[in-house]
Copies of this chain bind each other. A is one copy, B any other.
Amino acid sequence: MAEVKLFGRWNSPFSQRVEMALKLKGVEYEFIDEDLRNKSPLLLKYNPIHKKVPVLLHNGKPIAESSVIIEYIDETWEGPSILPKDPYERAMARFWVKFIDEKCLTAMSEACSKTGEEKEKAIEEAAQLLKFLEEEIKGKKFFGGENIGLVDISSNFIGYWFGILQELMGLELLTKEKYPNLCEWIDGFINHSFVKDYLPPKDKITEVYKAWLNRRSNFA
């Protein structure tokens, strides 16, 4: 049995975050691509509470929740640091990850999934929240400074998936005109030698989102 297994999904940004962390550290792992409509008994066994990917299995012990897994990876394996070493900088990185996960992703997802007034409200909220990231990335190459770190990895939905989705939906939320610094970060992030080889292909993500939009319109 491989020492490290990752129960994930090829097109999940959360799953991808953990893959990026493992690759940054040079950890070899076996990837188990879960069918999320027919989850494996092992995934349900290892994550009985949330029943979600990603789950990391290390020496037979499971860990769920991407942000928890990434800190575990950083503490367990040698290699480039994913979190900063300085306690205050670490706190700031954790703050931004919480902000992205609990605020930005909710608003950005609702901007795409809701309709009518709820959609407009979510777009407005997402626009406000992204301004804080726009300010935070100003004058920096990456959120982690010169190198990709925890906040960059955790912003992967904003950096890649969301652009594909907003283009498909004709949304103009995250644009160069409104967020020049954030869009510069996106360019740097998706073209970084380390990132670009590992992102799922745009055409395949597009297919998944198109199917989702079709299902939605059939049920609307």
Q: What residues of chain A have their CB less than 8 Å away from a CB belonging to chain B?
A: 49, 58, 61, 63-65, 67-69, 71-72, 75-76, 87-88, 90-92, 94-95, 98-99, 102, 132
Contact = CB atoms under 8 A, between A and B. Distances in A.
Contacts of A71: 90-91, 94
A23 B132 CA distance: 33
Question: How many copies are assembled?
Answer: 2
A87 B58 CA distance: 11
Q: Which 3 A-B pairs have the closest CB atoms?
A: A75-B87, A72-B91, A68-B94
A95 B63 contact: yes
Interface centre among A49, A91, A132 (most CB of B within 10 A): A91
Nearest to A86: B75
A132 B91 contact: no
Contacts of A98: 65, 67-68
If over half of A's interface residues share one DSSP class (helix, strand or loop), that class is named, otherwise mixed; here it is: helix
A95 B132 contact: no
Given A71-B90, A76-B87, 14 more contacts: A49-B132, A63-B88, A63-B91, A63-B95, A65-B94, A67-B98, A68-B91, A68-B94, A68-B95, A68-B98, A72-B88, A72-B90, A72-B91, A75-B87
Given A61-B88, A63-B88, A99 B68 contact: no
A90 B71 CA distance: 9
B99 A49 contact: yes
